Amino acid sequence: MSTENTTPEGAGAAEAIDEVEVIDVAAGYSEPEVEDGDIIVGEGFDEAVTDEERLRAMRSNLDAFDLEDEDLVILGDDGEFLGFAEPSSEALPVVAIVGRPNVGKSALVNRILGRREAVVEDVPGVTRDRVSYPAEWGGTRFSLVDTGGWEPDARGIDASVALQAEVAIELCDVVMFVVDSRVGPTATDERVVQMLRRTNKPVFLVANKVDDAVLEPEVAQLWSLGLGTPHAVSALHGRGVADLLDLVLEALPDESAVAQPKLLGPRRVAILGRPNVGKSSLLNKAAGEERVVVNDLAGTTRDPVDEQVEIAGRVWTFVDTAGIRRRVHMQKGADFYASLRTTAALEKAEVAVVLLDVTEPISDQDLRIIDLVLESGRALVLAFNKWDLLDDDRRRYLEREIEQDLAHVAWAPRVNISARTGRHLEKLVPALETALDSWDSRIPTGKFNGFVAELVQEYPHPLRGGKQPRILFGTQVQNRPPTFVLFTSGFLDPGYRRFITRRLRENYGFEGTPIQINMRIREKRQRR
């Protein structure tokens, strides 16, 4: 018989720790029948016994049970404990892709990367920020920058998108100017050409949407732009992209002349939250520049944007993500794919900062986002944004909402900030450091079994069907997040596992990180 059960701590606000049941049953605990040779973990707990002595006794007791090969691997290994490498720096050459809206820039990015990284939809204006992706071709590594569509005389959010495209041109080594071969040169394309000539940088004219040889004659009209040979490609099918990249690499410098050296290693921080809670504003304030587009329109950000920022003397990699909407709004279009990119960005991050708007009640959507972080196993920091707009009446309601709705993540550090003004932004650093230290921490096997033995002696598991499940042995199999395996003789109630998790926090902290408890039920070996 082999049963495994994984419990990510804090799976829902409704599941509170049922410590009352544990204590009540423990008060009326009756000694189970014990066969010769059995050792009950909580039996005769002696503080004078060292952790190593207790560890050897519990390990020998486990030999009387049927164990699988995977169990022996767990018992013979201390598990995988990931460390943090010292950061190094590099300045990769930068290739920027610019052009009018809906000419296929993001599709070309996906083709070069070899995967669907950028959000693509057959409508203009999907991409809004300048998004950098690490790329490689022919053994040469470089940074590929996707931009939003550039238009002259743009207004509102389109003006911010065009500005980001202009910044990308200034901060690159080579420009790939993409035009629609089926439309031909337009007045907007000519305006882009004028802007590119002022930069004095290598420019490759890319005629996209040439899906077959029949359409190649249409490329000839692009000579009128005065940028030299138009390179016919099809981002959708990959036609001509390899030849284009070979030419681009020849023009690339060995080291970028404009890009700042990027540190390889700063802790990755994903900024999550509902649309319009201030995620992009937080990144801009931390970066000290208008790095991403900010607008009152909900859902402005589509692609995750990475940026290295320095707060209180520490360098971090902040990842701005798209706001996670309610499911009813995620059925189609770019917002759906933006949500998928947000989930992928969370998986690549080490700690998640969940932004909550203090001017609005804590919603079910906020709780679903927190649960998403818990399921991913990432460290968690709660940031209450727009604190400068909070009045006294709303403060009283907010305290009550935190107490009721966020009880299952009471262990997460909380920071009150204002992304717009930068108020208390430096307080994010100790909160992030605390969460990451807990996320990386481990408990030695001997010390953990001593903790389990003392806990079971004080509060034994309730009897179920006249039998009492016993914890035979326990070990931490990995960190990031802290994951523990308990070898038991029977099924442990969810309430008792939550009780163990709570006592782990009381004894060892683990502030800011979820804790996972895995259970392996093993039967006693039959005597012959």
477: left (phi over 0), alpha (psi -120 to 50) or beta: alpha
Quick check: 499 and 459 in contact, CB under 8 A?
yes
Instruction: State yes or no: pLDDT of 49 exceeds 50.
Output: yes
Q: How far apart are CA 71 and CA 440, in angstroms?
A: 24
**pLDDT, tens digit, for every residue of 333-383?**
666 777 777 888 888 889 999 999 998 999 888 999 999 999 999 999 999
pTM listed for this prediction: 0.73
Close Cβ partners of 31 (under 8 Å, ≥ 6 residues apart): none
Task: Please give the average per-residue pLDDT across 176-194, as a whole number.
Answer: 89
Q: Is residue 47 very low, low, confident or very high in pLDDT (cuts 50, 70, 90)?
A: low
Task: Report the share of the chain in percent with pLDDT over 90.
Answer: 23
When pLDDT is cut at 50, 70 and 90, the band that residue 263 belongs to is: low
Does 30 score more than 80 pLDDT? no
> Is pLDDT above 80 for 75?
no
What is the per-residue pLDDT for 269? Answer: 92
> Which of 70, 42, 59, 63 minimizes the C-alpha distance to 473?
59
Structure tokens at 51: 């952790």
pLDDT of residue 149: 83
pLDDT band at 444 (very low <50, low <70, confident <90, very high): confident
Q: Which two tokens stand for residue 445?
A: 């096997």
Higher pLDDT: 136 or 24? It is: 136
pLDDT value at residue 302: 67
Residue 159 — very low, low, confident or very high, per pLDDT cuts 50/70/90?
confident
In 3D space, the residue among 515, 520, 352, 354 whose CA is nearest the CA of residue 441 turns out to be 515
Return the pLDDT at 51. 64
pLDDT at 19: 36
Give percent above pLDDT 70 in the chain.
77
Q: What is the pLDDT of residues 267-308, one digit of tens each?
A: 889 999 888 888 888 888 888 888 777 776 666 776 678 888
pLDDT at site 241: 92
**Where in 299-345 does DSSP place strands (E)?**
305-311, 314-320
Sheet-wide strand order for 231-232? 131-137, 140-146, 94-99, 174-180, 203-208, 231-232
Residue 525: predicted pLDDT: 65
Cα–Cα distance for residue pair 375/457, rounded to 1 Å: 31
Selection from 32-41, 72-81, 179-188 with the highest mean pLDDT: 179-188
| For residue 87, pLDDT beyond 60 | no
- The answer on pLDDT for 486 being more than 80 is yes
Position 132 scores a pLDDT of 85
pLDDT surpassing 60 at residue 329: no
Q: Please state, in angstroms and rounded to a whole number, the distance separating the CA atoms of residues 439 and 82.
A: 10
Closest by Cα among 41, 58, 18 to 445: 58
Neighbours of 411 (CB within 10 A): 20
Spell out the domains of the chain, with CATH numbers in brackets.
Answer: 3-81+442-521 (3.30.300.20), 89-251 (3.40.50.300), 265-436 (3.40.50.300)
Handedness of CA 44, 74, 441, 23 (dihedral sign): negative
Q: How confident is the model at residue 133 (pLDDT cuts 50, 70, 90)?
A: confident
Average pLDDT over the chain, rounded to whole? Answer: 80
Judged against a pLDDT cut of 80, whether residue 64 lies above it is answered with: no
Written as one letter, the residue type at 102 is N
Give residue 365's pLDDT.
87
Q: Would you state the torsion angle of the CA atoms of residues 275, 277, 279, 284, taken in this order, to the nearest 10 degrees?
A: 120
Nearest CA among 177, 173, 174 for reference residue 229? 177
pLDDT grade, residue 33 (50/70/90)? very low
Comparing 123-127, 214-218, 427-431, the range with the smallest average pLDDT is 123-127
Inter-helix orientation angle 364-376/333-348, to 10°: 40
CA atoms of 442 and 482, how far apart (whole Å): 7
State the pLDDT at residue 8: 52
**Who has greater pLDDT, 201 or 28?**
201
Question: What is the average per-residue pLDDT within 514-525?
Answer: 84
Mean pLDDT confidence for 456-466: 84
* pLDDT score of 36: 34
Q: Which pLDDT score is estimated for 303? A: 67
